[in-house]
Amino acid sequence: MALFVVLMSKKSAQRKERALVLMLMGMLCAVVVFFGGLVLKTHREYQNFQARENRIEAKLIQARKEFAQKEVYMARLVNDPEFLERVVRERLGYARPDELLFRFSDEP
């Protein structure tokens, strides 16, 4: 009878050990899935930020090009009197005192 009780306690101890190992493995799997999801979400956010940074960088490059063109235009307005006169005549419709301007409509 004592042998039977010892064998039963060994079997129940093995069952408890197996149950504990299975629970720990299940918990480990749950933790791996949880942190894997976090890593995946973080990676997606990183890719979105990279794409956004690239778009903003392209806008910045375009703005710098436009600024450089406008600086050249302004320098030419300041330093070239003939260019200034032509721009004023074309855009603002100015004329010299002895000139007569004719304006035609674009409508047929």
pTM as predicted: 0.57
CB 51 within 8 A of CB 58: no
pLDDT confidence of 103, banded at 50, 70, 90? confident
The pLDDT of residue 100 is: 80
Instruction: Give the alpha-carbon dihedral of 21, 27, 29, 31, to 10 degrees.
Output: -150
DSSP 71-106: HHHHHHHHH-HHHHHHHIIIII----TT-------S
Report d(CA 55, CA 76) in Å as an integer.
Answer: 32
The pLDDT of residue 5 is: 53
Q: What is the pLDDT of residues 13-52, one digit of tens each?
A: 788 889 999 999 999 999 999 999 999 999 999 999 999 9
The phi, psi pair for 97, rounded to 5°, reads -60, -30
Listed by start position, the domains of the chain span 2-92
- Report which DSSP code applies to 108: -
End-to-end CA distance of the chain: 119
CB 88 within 8 A of CB 94: yes
The pLDDT of residue 102 is: 77
> What average pLDDT score do residues 94-98 get?
83
